[in-house]
Structure 1
Amino acid sequence: MNPTQTFDRTRLPGTEDKGVSLLARLEPLKAVLLSRVLPPLIILGALVMLWEVLCSRPGAALPSASQMVRETWELITDPFYDNGGNDVGMAWQILASLERVAYGYSLAVVVGVGLGVLVGQSTWALRGLDPLFQVLRTVPPLAWLPISLAGFQDSNPSAIFVIFITAIWPIIINTSVGIRNIPEDYRNVARVIRLNGFEYFWKIMLPAAAPYIFSGLRIGVGLSWLAIVAAEMLIGGVGIGFFIWDAWNSSLISDIILALIYVGIVGFLLDRMVAWVGNRVTRGTAAG
């Protein structure tokens, strides 16, 4: 080899194959970025630019995006500050709301799935309870708040009850529909192999109805998050809903916008979390 020639690694045997192999492995990631990540980023960027242009004009009622960030920078950079009482960071406000949602939603899941199984399995229960459920589920969530405050005499359990009564209806309805739609072949197999009640519930009923149940759970968790934000505006205390109402009373519009962004992100993550669990549980089922 001529000493003056440069050493080119790409011409060595096998190096070209390694480069092609690396590119091939990156192709799926590239496809995901182009199809899933890039479109929402473009839309989000366009909306932020439109927001900035419309609200930067003199006399605009709402702050622009850049002004909102400037005015809420301390809230963004220090979400865990605690000055005592209700003067706490955004992270503590959201965690307080999530704690109430966890209690109310968990109770709604247990009771809702149980009642849904009962209504789906029993024709008598369906005829007796379904009309009652259809009437109660049309009551707006906040209409339950005065009754719960009168009954519990405390704001925190009242808020939890509002979450419970809001989330339970889609869980009951979807669970009962899933139970009624279990294929008759599954029931016949259970009779042939003589499964007892618990075995039939655990091995046949729940797996077959799981896709319907998790559809109700996703709707329920979204309604729970909506209900707690609205309820906290009325009951006060620490929570993202009360933070929004307090910011309105103090004319802190930028704080309200920041809180709304956080509310949307948390609601999205809650929905994705329930959907992820549902995809794992229903994997391998006919409907899933």
Structure 2
Amino acid sequence: MNTAVLSDPNGSFETAAAAETAASTAAAPQAAPAFRTQSPAERQRTKNRQVALRIIAPFMGLALLLLVWELAAEHSSQFPSPLTTWQSAQKVFAHPFYNNGPNDVGIGWNLLASLQRVAYGFGLAALAGIPLGFAIGRMRFLDSMLSPLISLLRPVSPLAWLPIGLYVFSNAPAAAIYTIFICSIWPMMINTAIGVQRIPADYMNVARVLDLSTWKVFTKILLPSVMPYMMTGVRLSVGTAWLVIVAAEMLTGGTGIGFWLWNEWNNLNLAHILIAILVIGVTGMLLEGALMLIARRFSYDEAR
């Protein structure tokens, strides 16, 4: 303690302590503010950068694709330019739902046939994969038992499953649906299991203390916590299903966007092949975008 305080007969401890506190406060440097308010000009620049990233950058990427496409067409007389492809697309989409026989239908019918098979195969995979993922995540024995099988079967190419489907079902559409089922079940199963395994142990401990029923544990703890992981698996599975159906239809024939693409190759119609590629890409992008919106709806902030 300060000796001046002890030698002052009439002084008080509170006065000396206050003086000492004031001196130390004055000597201490003032902390800089944690946040600095942006000026209007800075806010406008930040807004412009965000607009550029969201709108201008994608259009620049599209322009780059068209430029490369045009350069490739100029160096090959048989490769169609973007303008030629656009003119062919106008004719193709003028009557997308014509039907001149079993193997001569418009691109609209082919696209709908592919989407229908994807819906069947993906739906069956979701009905089987998501509950199985919950079971794997909750039961260590089941996890240990199935992990080697999943690691063995998951990397197998979709086209390797197609002959087995043709042998078992003796039907091309059923074989394609079976192949979609096998290939799209893994992302949903694995992501759901990971989501269950990453649920904080405190949540389950509270459920035991409160003696919650199995249904309450599932609806109040498991499902809300696992939903973001599960939706990620669903989004990946839809992309896989769309890739698989195009490859399967190219081999099995009949109707479908994959068969339409292969048929145009047999006719050496490169413009229609490029149209099919664009249709496949746009459809896949729309499917993924729709599922991303749903995934954001079910996501949550753990700190909230």
TM-score tier after normalising by the smaller chain length: 0.7 to 0.9
Specify which of 55, 67, 72 is matched with residue 84 of structure 2. Answer: 67
Gaps of 5+ in 2: 1-44
**One-letter code of the match for 1:122?**
M
What is aligned with 1:96? 113
What is aligned with 1:127? 144
Matches of 1:171 and 1:50, distance apart in 2: 37
Q: TM-score, normalised by structure 1?
A: 0.85
Alignment RMSD: 2.2
Identify if the C-alpha distance between structure 1 residues 115 and 248 changes in structure 2 by more than 3 Å, giving closer, same or farther: same
Deviation at 1:218, TM superposition (A): 1.2
What is aligned with 1:259? 276
Deviation at 1:32, TM superposition (A): 6.2
Does residue 186 (structure 1) correspond to residue 203 (structure 2)? The answer is yes
Once the two structures are overlaid, the 10-residue window that deviates more, 81-90 or 28-37, is 28-37
Deviation at 1:193, TM superposition (A): 1.9
Deviations 1:19-69 (A, max 9, x none): xxxxxxxx9998765331221112212321331133124x44421111222
Matches of 1:272 and 1:72, distance apart in 2: 24
Once the two structures are overlaid, the 10-residue window that deviates more, 136-145 or 72-81, is 72-81
1:220-239 correspondence to structure 2 within 5 Å:
220-239=237-256
Q: Is the 8 A contact 2:72 2:79 kept in 1?
A: no
SS in 1 for 2:72: helix
Deviations 1:70-116 (A, max 9, x none): 33431033323333323222222111101000111111111111111
Deviation at 1:192, TM superposition (A): 1.9
Identify if the C-alpha distance between structure 1 residues 33 and 237 changes in structure 2 by more than 3 Å, giving closer, same or farther: farther
* Equivalences, count: 261
Does residue 275 (structure 1) correspond to residue 296 (structure 2)? The answer is no
Gaps of 5+ in 1: 1-26
What is aligned with 1:286? 302
Q: TM-score, normalised by structure 2?
A: 0.80
Does residue 80 (structure 1) correspond to residue 97 (structure 2)? The answer is yes
SS in 1 for 2:93: helix
**One-letter code of the match for 1:87?**
D
SS in 1 for 2:96: coil
Matches of 2:182 and 2:255, distance apart in 1: 21
Matches of 1:287 and 1:280, distance apart in 2: 17
Q: Is the 8 A contact 2:97 2:105 kept in 1?
A: yes
Identify if the C-alpha distance between structure 1 residues 275 and 72 changes in structure 2 by more than 3 Å, giving closer, same or farther: closer
**One-letter code of the match for 2:249?**
E
Does residue 138 (structure 1) correspond to residue 174 (structure 2)? The answer is no
Matches of 1:235 and 1:261, distance apart in 2: 22
Specify which of 248, 260, 274 is matched with residue 243 of structure 1. Answer: 260
Identify if the C-alpha distance between structure 1 residues 33 and 197 changes in structure 2 by more than 3 Å, giving closer, same or farther: same
Matches of 1:287 and 1:80, distance apart in 2: 51
Matches of 1:277 and 1:54, distance apart in 2: 39
Matches of 2:175 and 2:82, distance apart in 1: 36
Matches of 1:28 and 1:150, distance apart in 2: 60
Radius of gyration: which is bigger? Answer: 2
Specify which of 29, 37, 61 is matched with residue 43 of structure 1. Answer: 61
Deviation at 1:230, TM superposition (A): 0.2
What is aligned with 1:7? none
Q: Is the 8 A contact 1:163 1:227 kept in 2?
A: yes
